[in-house]
Structure 1
Amino acid sequence: MNVKTLPLNSRPRERLKQKGASALSDQELLAIILRTGSKKVPALELATEILNFFGDDLHQLKSAELQEFMLISGIGEVKAIELLAMIELGQRIHKSSKLKIGHVSSSYELGCMLAEEMRDYEQEHLLCIYLNTKNQIIQKRTIFIGSLNQSIAHPREIFKTAVKVAAARIVICHNHPSGSPTPSYNDIAFTKRLRECGDLMGIELLDHLVIGGSEYISLREEGLWN
């Protein structure tokens, strides 16, 4: 289906202007991003072929690689690079909107947001949330990214930033790429060490959240704290 043969009010760009982006199908949104098709395939049809290639599964599209896109007829290197850039930007926007400067009221609230953000990470990430005395988020920072078997970062990396941003409290969070949120012996030992460092510096560790898949465990709530 060629966009130019459609009635004006049925074309993706016109529909977006009139009804907003949320009213468009995945195919229409992708056609707008593609801008043009190939010599043989118009943009709407090319968008359909891309979605079909990934089984109409946007989650699969999210993890696609350059060479996968280029297996699709009509997708060259330039379009493949543009699509990858679009996907990465969308993911960054999604992550930044989930945890923005605001107020942390509970481990549950924070755990749910971070579980959604970190559930697909294939490597271990250690994040630190820096808070003021009112539990308002000053900064969120990735302290460490490592291989599946690599140990967690040293406490000095966490507290160096805490001092820099004048944080009164912190919450740390890391993921288990295995999918299980059950804290390990090293997780518990590291938490105790971090609490001791915080006590010496006057910076309170409020909680340590462990993410596994779409679930989390709070070491404070589980009593794995002393």
Structure 2
Amino acid sequence: MSNKSASFSIKNWSQDDQPREKLRDKGKTILSDAELVAILIGSGNKTESAVDLSKRILASVNNNLNALGKLSIKQLMEFNGIGEAKAISITAALELGRRRRLEDASASDKITSSRTVFTIMQPILGELPHEEFWILYLNNSNKILQKTQLSKGGITGTLVDVRLVLKNALEVGATSIILCHNHPSGTLKPSTSDKEITKKLKTAAESLDIKVLDHLIVTEKAYFSFADEELL
């Protein structure tokens, strides 16, 4: 490594500019997203410090960590100074963050509002590039007994096996269910198919005294609730 490139290694910066030491001495919350990513990659390239390179990577996704988490290892390696090992470190760290959010959401498993459903399901569905349809099975205290993926891919009425949904509801002792699926496009408007599925499941469930409490459409940052919009 040349002297020029060595100067861009974190350990050669002044103490105040070293993210690792800054985190140790001043706490993790004081660091910017770029400084945290810089700790992951350790060094930049011949012309950029690790922080400057991290800033450029974040700028490419409009400083959105969820969007950064969607980048593939190959896409990350397109940045000068990011090799396979660094790309893997970034991917692993962001995946741990996603799993942490999922665990935090699961810890609060009593449904009190549509916002609670979104908090639980966003880490599962919000960042997927394809559609998935899930059923939440609840007891009479509105606590989740089970979360089940019903289908993966495009959603149509023919893909919803009503008998399977209700059979599972009876097996787990559910008194109500919540439907949930994602729109990778980001649109929150329910399609005709979405409305038909909701009606189909609601009618079938009522015959067994099982309530359909809501149907949520989830995107990366927001949601649409059939119950809140009085479409149930």
TM-score by length of 2: 0.75
Aligned to 2:147: 140
Aligned to 1:206: 213
Please provide the CA RMSD for this pair. 3.3
- Residues 24/150 of structure 1: CA separation in 2 closer, same or farther (3 Å cut): farther
After superposition, what is the alpha-carbon deviation per residue over 1:177-217, rounded to whole angstroms, capped at 9, x for unaligned? 34333333322222222123322334321112234674443
Q: Which amino acid aligns with 1:155?
A: V
Asked whether 1:171 is paired with 2:178, we answer: yes
Aligned to 1:190: 197
- Residues 201/184 of structure 1: CA separation in 2 closer, same or farther (3 Å cut): same
- Residues 206/149 of structure 1: CA separation in 2 closer, same or farther (3 Å cut): closer
Contact 2:132–2:182 at 8 Å: present in 1 too? yes
After superposition, what is the alpha-carbon deviation per residue over 1:43-84, rounded to whole angstroms, capped at 9, x for unaligned? x81342143144263324232222222222332222222322
The CA distance in 1 between the partners of 2:20 and 2:97, in whole Å, is 19
TM-score by length of 1: 0.76
Aligned to 1:37: 43
- Report the more deviating stretch, 93-102 or 167-176: 93-102
Aligned to 1:113: 119
Gap regions ≥5 residues in structure 2:
1-7
- Residues 8/66 of structure 1: CA separation in 2 closer, same or farther (3 Å cut): same
Q: Which amino acid aligns with 2:18?
A: R
Structure 1 position 133, deviation (Å):
0.9
Asked whether 1:124 is paired with 2:128, we answer: no
Aligned to 1:49: 53
Q: How does 1:16-35 map to 2 (within 5 A)?
A: 16-34=23-41
Structure 1 position 149, deviation (Å):
7.2
Q: Percent identity?
A: 30
The CA distance in 2 between the partners of 1:195 and 1:73, in whole Å, is 54
Aligned to 1:63: 70
Q: Which amino acid aligns with 1:122?
A: P
Structure 1 position 7, deviation (Å):
5.4
Asked whether 1:181 is paired with 2:188, we answer: yes
Asked whether 1:224 is paired with 2:219, we answer: no
Contact 1:115–1:214 at 8 Å: present in 2 too? no
Aligned to 2:85: 78
- Residues 45/81 of structure 1: CA separation in 2 closer, same or farther (3 Å cut): same
Q: Aligned residues, how many? A: 221
The CA distance in 2 between the partners of 1:41 and 1:52, in whole Å, is 15
- Residues 30/182 of structure 1: CA separation in 2 closer, same or farther (3 Å cut): closer
The CA distance in 1 between the partners of 2:182 and 2:175, in whole Å, is 24
- Report the more deviating stretch, 6-15 or 58-67: 6-15
The CA distance in 1 between the partners of 2:155 and 2:207, in whole Å, is 31
After superposition, what is the alpha-carbon deviation per residue over 1:117-152, rounded to whole angstroms, capped at 9, x for unaligned? 545443222122222211122333333220377964
- Residues 149/76 of structure 1: CA separation in 2 closer, same or farther (3 Å cut): farther
The CA distance in 1 between the partners of 2:75 and 2:135, in whole Å, is 35
Aligned to 2:5: none
The CA distance in 2 between the partners of 1:20 and 1:151, in whole Å, is 53
